[in-house]
Structure 1
């Protein structure tokens, strides 16, 4: 550390502070210290530093999945923000399982992270207890829970689904079906279903709901959905999927049948995923800025770590209905 301090032109105390509490050191100084460490090949003992400062320099994130671009964007926004302030990322995936999330939390908390970001909002009682006992900042994302553990960044999934269903009515469609998964831990999917039902309740139509037994949304689940809709609701003129990838699966299955969209039926999704655009599907969807969610979650964590007084612990990033040629 003495050599690093000498080369960077700062005191050893400043080097130590940059490693232990990077937010307390000017960015230009941190860069000079990092350059000196790179030139000397110096790797700090982060474990010893964490013991001395009671800070690990780690921000942990547990996401539902990395198989769609939206959560990847959230991690990108979060990582860009916190890494710029000297923190490192620790990442885990729960695969939409509250049980797996709890297991991951036990492992993650053993690393003593300085903050935690979660993309799920349904947790086991044990997980909530672990997070409360950890006494570190926690940000739940992608929904605005009625009773957040600590802080939250997201939007109203129910309101967004209601808005999309109403939009389909306004485009002239009447017999609108909703496709989701029968996954008890998927709170977002449940809220999107409620939003759909809210809009249907104010129409002259009855709900046309299909819930798949698939463990997670994928193209095959979408193909299965189309088969069941044709059988159960043959009069359907629009299909609203709880997630874009289900809509993409329906689109491919419709193509195999020789059907055109929206001539055979309109199609709408949720998320504005890149996969739909890459597949050539000009999908009407609900757009949510996943990267902004991650970045704003980082803002809340960093402010709390700096012991700042927050004007709000909940941030609503909103959503936007994007109409494209599929509807």
Structure 2
């Protein structure tokens, strides 16, 4: 004889509560008393009950499924933010669909279409969608869309991030105050990195400096790009006194290659990174970097989602800012 799958009523009976209370716990665990929630969790484990999410989504207005789309996770500055968001989303009773979009707009479009087809409650994007047609489709989808790590003037829905151009300008001001005069930029080919480089160059020239030299590298950033970038310095007409790298990984590779060549950092050449990864503080010399509070981005994303679920009004542009972390390399 086939064994009947456990039902919601079975969980309720074992936990000593009503089926409605179990349902409330499954949909919004925070509204159920802690002791009651503990009994329900224990009953779920003992009975082996599995919630029918598809039926729940059809019966109600929420699927409890969130799509988080990131370009990459290998050696990524987004990892802390993504991990913090997934932890918070799970604690709120959500499931997270994590997808890698790379630098290919077609992959991004495919993953967004997949998320919309699954009727997700929200789509969390890392970066800003540049395709006008795709932005308009997302606007008309009726799904919460949160763009992170950027701050467009006209968000699709809600943006939680910072101005990359302003971050570049701030690094230019910092290095000029430190007395550097001949910057060289190593720029990953991504809209975010290019905006920072353009902001840096604009501020540098505005303050009376020469147009910085520039080397573009592919994305995602990695250690080897820094080593190649250092070797390319010999091709420049004038040697820079500081190299501004688009990521801490590139800065690390450049420093290692310089030290292998007998060049002292920062005495003979200074180096900066971006992202303030753990390696920036672990290197010797430690790496001067631009810090963005990824944990705060995650908290703000959660605040937006909770406000939306409660039907509350929220601001559409949330600026989390940035700061230069001055260390030994510059």
TM-score, structure 1 as length reference: 0.92
Once the two structures are superposed, residues 168-204 of structure 1 have per-residue CA deviations (whole angstroms, 9 ceiling, x without a partner) of 11111111111102x3xx2211210122113212333
1:207 is the counterpart of 2:187: no
1:238 is the counterpart of 2:247: no
Once the two structures are superposed, residues 250-285 of structure 1 have per-residue CA deviations (whole angstroms, 9 ceiling, x without a partner) of 112212212110022111111101233444440001
| Aligned 8 A contact 1:138 1:301 in 2 | no
| Aligned 8 A contact 2:243 2:270 in 1 | yes
| Aligned 8 A contact 2:150 2:161 in 1 | yes
Give the corresponding residue for 2:84: 77
Instruction: Find the residue that maps to 2:86 and give its secondary structure.
Output: helix
Give the corresponding residue for 1:53: 60
- Structure 1: distance between partners of 2:242 and 2:207: 15
1:22 is the counterpart of 2:25: no
Instruction: Find the residue that maps to 1:195 and give its secondary structure.
Output: helix
Deviation at 1:60, TM superposition (A): 1.0
296, 310, 317: which one aligns with 2:320: 317
- Structure 1: distance between partners of 2:285 and 2:43: 50
Give the corresponding residue for 2:269: 265
1:169 is the counterpart of 2:176: yes
Distance 1:144 1:31, change over 3 A: farther
Deviation at 1:30, TM superposition (A): 4.0
| Aligned 8 A contact 2:64 2:95 in 1 | yes
Instruction: Find the residue that maps to 2:77 and give its secondary structure.
Output: helix
- Structure 1: distance between partners of 2:283 and 2:74: 16
Deviation at 1:133, TM superposition (A): 3.0
Instruction: Find the residue that maps to 1:70 and give its secondary structure.
Output: coil
281, 285, 289: which one aligns with 2:289: 285
| Aligned 8 A contact 1:248 1:281 in 2 | no
Once the two structures are superposed, residues 95-141 of structure 1 have per-residue CA deviations (whole angstroms, 9 ceiling, x without a partner) of 13322111111122222111111012033234323322321111101
Distance 1:34 1:166, change over 3 A: same
Distance 1:284 1:300, change over 3 A: same
Contiguous gaps of at least 5 residues in structure 1: none
| Aligned 8 A contact 1:69 1:274 in 2 | no
Deviation at 1:209, TM superposition (A): 2.9
Give the corresponding residue for 2:144: 137
CA RMSD of aligned residues (A): 1.9
Instruction: Find the residue that maps to 2:78 and give its secondary structure.
Output: helix
- Structure 2: distance between partners of 1:75 and 1:233: 42
- Structure 2: distance between partners of 1:233 and 1:208: 12
Once the two structures are superposed, residues 224-243 of structure 1 have per-residue CA deviations (whole angstroms, 9 ceiling, x without a partner) of 22222331154210111122
- Structure 1: distance between partners of 2:256 and 2:22: 57
The structure having more radius of gyration, on CA atoms, is 2
- Structure 2: distance between partners of 1:302 and 1:27: 19
- Structure 1: distance between partners of 2:110 and 2:247: 26
Deviation at 1:23, TM superposition (A): 6.2
- Structure 2: distance between partners of 1:225 and 1:27: 57
Larger relative contact order (CA 8 Å, sep ≥ 6): 1
- Structure 2: distance between partners of 1:259 and 1:201: 28
Deviation at 1:69, TM superposition (A): 4.7
Instruction: Find the residue that maps to 1:73 and give its secondary structure.
Output: helix
* Larger deviation, residues 171-180 vs 25-34: 25-34
Deviation at 1:50, TM superposition (A): 1.5
Give the corresponding residue for 2:280: 276
* Larger deviation, residues 128-137 vs 72-81: 128-137
Give the corresponding residue for 1:11: 18
| Aligned 8 A contact 1:57 1:87 in 2 | yes
